[in-house]
Structure 1
Amino acid sequence: MGKLKQAGLICAGILGGILISLQFSAMAEKETPTSLPIEELRTFAGVFNAIKQGYVEPVDDKKLITYAISGMLSNLDPHSTYLDADAYKDLQVGTQGEFGGLGIEVGMEDGLVKVVSPIEDTPADRAGVKSGDLIFKIDDTLVKGLTLTEAVKRMRGKPKTQIKLSILRKGENKPVEITLTREIIKVQSVKSKLVEDGYGYLRITSFQENTAAALIKHLNELYKPGPLKGLVLDLRNDPGGLLNTAIGVSSAFLPPKTLVTSTDGRTPDAKHKFYSSPEDYLRRSGQDDYIKNLPAEARTVPMVVLINGGSASASEIVAGALQDNKRAIIMGTTSFGKGSVQTVLPLPGNTAIKLTTARYFTPSGRSIQAKGIAPDIVVEEKANGSSSMRLREADLEHHLENNKDGKDKDAATPAKPQSKAPAKSKGNPSRDEDDEASEPPSRELASKNDYQLGQAINLLKGLQIMQNRP
């Protein structure tokens, strides 16, 4: 018992030191740290010692502490996590638009890796990995028992090496096995096209450091042939990214000093309002203000923003800002519903934790956490009224609840659909209907087969006719 007590005190001291270090190094100058739960730390120390003394194989102290930290964070919500040195480095590189791997946004559910969204034009996207897929085996290793960080590390690797994912997919009677080839993921976060004379199309695939500046360049290219009659901003399947980039993108279409979003959390610096101002969208002081190069007409051109269940986080901030400020018509289906802010807190040894520190709100004060942005006009993905079944924030285990009161309960209730599916005959559906329902989405930018985009262009044309009516 003496050894157990001694080990308990040592382990309590170790964990206490970690907690105090985290409190002071990552949250300096904030409220004084709360007292440590001594009894619970003694229980932890007892478990730690039992593992050290009796587990079937020796376990390194550092590994046990890391597991404890990972467990604490992963049980809070789906987006709080521990980042070891490799994961922290990958996170830093990833925000710059280049990283190694397969190209999927993932979370954890029931011990399996759950695909939130494949990133456009990456190995996972091209191989047919879908939102909602459950990865239960990576090569010959079962995912059950691995942390999310460990699973992600196994999926990463040297470019041109192969990996096999075994997947459980809704609607499939047996596991789906997909072999992919790893590559350096270079995400071109902004793409554009002049769809028709006078009608522009902008696609944002993710919000990285240079996304807002790239958006301005694409806008200038779209305006080169002449003024635009309408613009479609496509945020479908955009998993999000950097907050300041979302503010920068919103600033391209809103008047200066317009409220874009606000955040609210327990600490003073988690309570903040963000405006379409350089001090909020520029990442560094002294950085060139890319908004100065914006075509003036971009702030007044009629706009439609396309969203769906894969539109999350930063893309929801933009959609909510443009919707609440009456700047654009939001079209599509209800978005993912990730309305929380994660702060990366560096730790010793080039590690860090990604901790949920606040909820964000649209300019009118709506919280979209676990609800999403409801479109002004509901348009399904297909003309027959069908859309892909998608994973949403509310489906994730331990998801953060929406803390707004009853007045916001309808915030994500879709508007009445404006586009009705064509009537079907009582007999077998026609061949055209069968083909349309099963046809895979086109990878062509602004494809003519993109039903939602077609409806957006039709709406803009209708607005143009209304404006020109005497």
Structure 2
Amino acid sequence: MTKKISISLIAITKITVLSLLVFTKTYAIDSPKSVINNITKPTEPKLETKSFDDIIFDWSGTFAEVLRIAGEKHYSVRKPEKSITKSIDAFLNTLDPHSSFLDPKTYKSILETTSGQFFGIGIVIDNTRSPKDKFLTAISTVPNGPAEKAGVQAFDKIIEIDDKKLDGMTTEEATAKLRGPKNTKVKLKVLRENKKEPMTFEITRNVVKAKTSFAFYIKDYDVYYVCLTTFSSNALKQIKDILEKSSKKPYKGLIIDLRNNSGGLLSSVIDICGLFTEKNSLVVTTKDKHGAKKEEYRTTQAPIANGNIPIFILTNNYTASASEILAGCLKIYSQNASKNTDNKPKNKPIVFTVGTKTFGKGSVQEIIPISNNSAIKLTTCLYFLPDDTTIQGKGIEPDFLVEKLFPAPEKITWFLDHYGREKSLKHSIDPLRASANKTVQEIKNEKQESQKDKASSKIITKNNTQKNWADKMKEILLQDNQFLETLKLINIFNLTKDKYPEKIIDRESAVKFIRETSALDNKISMNEVITE
């Protein structure tokens, strides 16, 4: 480490000398010799390892010296406050991807967000991005929110906010720019898949009451589905209500959708875990850089979940932090329960994870207020699950790997509808219309009804505000292959449980049997059959 520092110091010295030589040659103020003689030769750095305090003490003096010289000699110092805050933020960014400096404006915006009602545009953003990323992904939009009404779609990549590029901008800064006074406008430039050029949207800020959870009952499969977009007191109430309602009547399965959930209140996660695990169960432990335990978080209530109902948790690469704790914790307790046959408690539901590997954020950030109405967001600990493993940098592997398939682009859908079908050919014969049993008037009436249906469909498509959030979510789920595959997995589990219970005596055997039966993530080998 010392060698690297000394090399860079020498390189900087050479560049400085060369630049001074050019300066003197151009303006003939001093001779090159006198300039070089006035440069103090750098002292050789000592080889012994210095403590953090010693390094900070040495370099803070250097930093102060740079500021003093810049103030005295720079031709035009502009926005020194911004330069200093950026330098502090740069230092924190080098520690880890989640530590950052919150300037007064950003810090104020974060404090306002905790009130639950704010003036924004109604998008769920990717909180896992790095300041080096040149875009900010809109994971989803709030139904009927300002962004959705303006035309912003899920997975649009924001590259500019009010003509300012996001390159080098922290997520907190970007979020602060998206928020503002009511009825003011913000301009976004976004990249969208299958669009060659960036798209620009002008959005009017308004009150955004984001729905943090929603639920459905799928009657045909006798399955309950609950989606948690973040962890809040409302999310706890939603899932508790579902468990209480469903306990009155047996059902075949519960799907908890944690996809695109990048975290939230840890207290909410602990309370939700308490609905499924025994009272006083360990949920998560935090440890500092020395490996010392800082906090233990345990459940405080008796479980209410039906232990005979299988739980399938949907995850993806945007499942992060608090949502990973919930998925990991329930999975571990389910695994332990299946191994423990002695004095087995009543409420021990079997839990599976479906989808793709989670993000792997297992670090704890504290927001610490400092002077000048600012704050720092600092990583202080790591989370450890009940089995003393950390998800940091690892994530949680799903029991059943199901990659997300996206709907075909609009152009391809149109092409498939209009080509490659017999009915698309000119003068194609329609057996129903050609039937002698149908009169000319009946055929005419059918045409009119068809035209009415198309017109009605166009009106609904054109004006999405006619549909509430529930209708929109139903449409999305019906095209969601991960959700549909999970319904199939629940069917397989219940059929096997009824017909061949010996195949799924515990979680481990159930995962093995369902994998073999469904062939979702099995590697398939094929050999060519050669015929003469």
For the criterion TM > 0.5, the same-fold answer is yes
* SS of structure 2 residue aligned to 1:353: strand
Displacement, 1:213?
Answer: 3.3
| Equivalent position of 2:239 in the other structure | 215
| Equivalent position of 1:186 in the other structure | 209
Displacement, 1:335?
Answer: 1.5
2-side partners of 1:85 and 1:94: how far apart?
A: 14
Q: How does 1:328-407 map to 2 (within 5 A)?
A: 328-382=351-405
Displacement, 1:94?
Answer: 3.0
Conserved 8 A contact 1:263-1:273:
yes
Displacement, 1:463?
Answer: 2.2
1-side partners of 2:133 and 2:498: how far apart?
A: 58
| Equivalent position of 1:159 in the other structure | 182
| Equivalent position of 1:88 in the other structure | 107
Q: 1:47 aligns with which of 43, 62, 66?
A: 66
Conserved 8 A contact 1:108-1:114:
no
Displacement, 1:192?
Answer: 1.2
Q: How does 1:50-449 map to 2 (within 5 A)?
A: 50-55=69-74, 57-59=76-78, 62-95=81-114, 97-102=116-121, 103=123, 104-106=125-127, 107-110=129-132, 112-115=134-137, 117-118=139-140, 120-121=142-143, 122-124=145-147, 127-131=151-155, 133=157, 135-144=158-167, 148-168=171-191, 173-196=196-219, 198-223=222-247, 226-266=249-289, 271-275=294-298, 277-278=299-300, 291=301, 296-326=304-334, 327-382=350-405, 443-445=472-474, 447-449=477-479
Structure 1 residues 50 and 349, CA gap change in structure 2 (3 angstroms): closer
| Equivalent position of 2:494 in the other structure | 464
Conserved 8 A contact 2:287-2:295:
yes
Identity of matched residues, %: 31
2-side partners of 1:259 and 1:132: how far apart?
A: 39
Conserved 8 A contact 1:254-1:299:
no
Q: How does 1:13-24 map to 2 (within 5 A)?
A: none
What is the CA RMSD across the aligned residues, in angstroms? 3.6
2-side partners of 1:430 and 1:78: how far apart?
A: 50
Conserved 8 A contact 1:191-1:218:
no
2-side partners of 1:454 and 1:35: how far apart?
A: 59
2-side partners of 1:349 and 1:38: how far apart?
A: 22
The letter of the residue matching 2:478 is K
Judge which range, 215-224 or 452-461, deviates more: 215-224
* SS of structure 1 residue aligned to 2:95: coil
2-side partners of 1:270 and 1:99: how far apart?
A: 37
Displacement, 1:356?
Answer: 1.0
Structure 1 residues 387 and 269, CA gap change in structure 2 (3 angstroms): farther
* Aligned residues between the structures: 372
Conserved 8 A contact 2:146-2:206:
yes
| Equivalent position of 2:411 in the other structure | none
Displacement, 1:349?
Answer: 4.9
1:383-428 Cα distance to aligned partner (Å, 9 max, x none): xxx699xxxxxxxxxxxxxxxxxxxxxxxxxxxxxxxxxxxxxxxx
2-side partners of 1:174 and 1:203: how far apart?
A: 34
Structure 1 residues 240 and 345, CA gap change in structure 2 (3 angstroms): same
Displacement, 1:191?
Answer: 1.2
Displacement, 1:96?
Answer: 5.1
1:203-240 Cα distance to aligned partner (Å, 9 max, x none): 1010124432342134334445x233211111111111
Judge which range, 50-59 or 316-325, deviates more: 50-59
Structure 1 residues 90 and 221, CA gap change in structure 2 (3 angstroms): farther
Q: 2:56 aligns with which of 28, 31, 37?
A: 37
In our comparison, the structure showing a higher alpha carbon Rg is: 2
Conserved 8 A contact 1:270-1:357:
no
1:292-323 Cα distance to aligned partner (Å, 9 max, x none): 6x6x3445421100111221111111111122
Name the TM-score, length of structure 1 as normaliser: 0.68
Conserved 8 A contact 1:117-1:239:
no
| Equivalent position of 2:23 in the other structure | none
Structure 1 residues 37 and 354, CA gap change in structure 2 (3 angstroms): closer
2-side partners of 1:451 and 1:34: how far apart?
A: 54
The letter of the residue matching 2:353 is I
Displacement, 1:456?
Answer: 1.6
The letter of the residue matching 1:40 is W
Structure 1 residues 208 and 56, CA gap change in structure 2 (3 angstroms): farther
Q: Unaligned stretches of 5+ in structure 1?
A: 1-31, 279-290, 389-428, 432-441
Conserved 8 A contact 2:131-2:167:
no
Conserved 8 A contact 2:407-2:479:
no
Which structure: greater helix fraction? Answer: 2
Structure 1 residues 63 and 299, CA gap change in structure 2 (3 angstroms): farther
1:11-42 Cα distance to aligned partner (Å, 9 max, x none): xxxxxxxxxxxxxxxxxxxxx99456332112
* SS of structure 1 residue aligned to 2:312: strand
Structure 1 residues 348 and 227, CA gap change in structure 2 (3 angstroms): farther
Displacement, 1:179?
Answer: 3.5
Name the TM-score, length of structure 2 as normaliser: 0.61
Q: Unaligned stretches of 5+ in structure 2?
A: 1-50, 335-349, 409-418, 422-470, 502-532
2-side partners of 1:181 and 1:370: how far apart?
A: 38
The letter of the residue matching 2:329 is A
2-side partners of 1:377 and 1:114: how far apart?
A: 29
Instruction: Using CA pairs under 8 Å that are at least 6 residues apart, name the structure with larger relative contact order, 1 or 2.
Output: 1
